[in-house]
Amino acid sequence: MEELKPCPFCGDNNPILSKMTGLCINTHSKEGNLYWVECWEGCCKMWKNHTKKSAIKAWNRRVE
């Protein structure tokens, strides 16, 4: 799986991949999960990805 790149906005080198499970609002995910990436301090987030892979790709596509 692809590694998370540092945040282009705050420079955090250790972003976190998180998961929420079993939410009823997540009707589009076959897994019933939502994944997102955020900076350690929580200042920058990418929300509402239905797979780990899509969350990582969305995070790594961001530019300054």
**Interval 8-61: pLDDT, tens:** 889 899 999 988 876 555 455 555 788 889 988 778 888 778 889 999 999 999
Q: Give the phi and the psi of residue 10 in degrees, each rounded to 5.
A: -105, -10
Q: What's the token pair of residue 59? A: 């995070």
Could you give the 3-state DSSP secondary structure of residue 55?
A: helix
**What's the CA gap between 5 and 47, in Å, rounded?**
16
Instruction: Round to the nearest angstrom and report the end-to-end CA distance of the chain.
Output: 24
Amino acid code (one letter) for 9: F
Could you give the 3-state DSSP secondary structure of residue 54?
A: helix
Which pLDDT does position 45 carry in this prediction? 82
Which pLDDT does position 26 carry in this prediction? 46
Q: Is the pTM of this model over 0.85?
A: no
Residue 64 has pLDDT above 70, yes or no: no
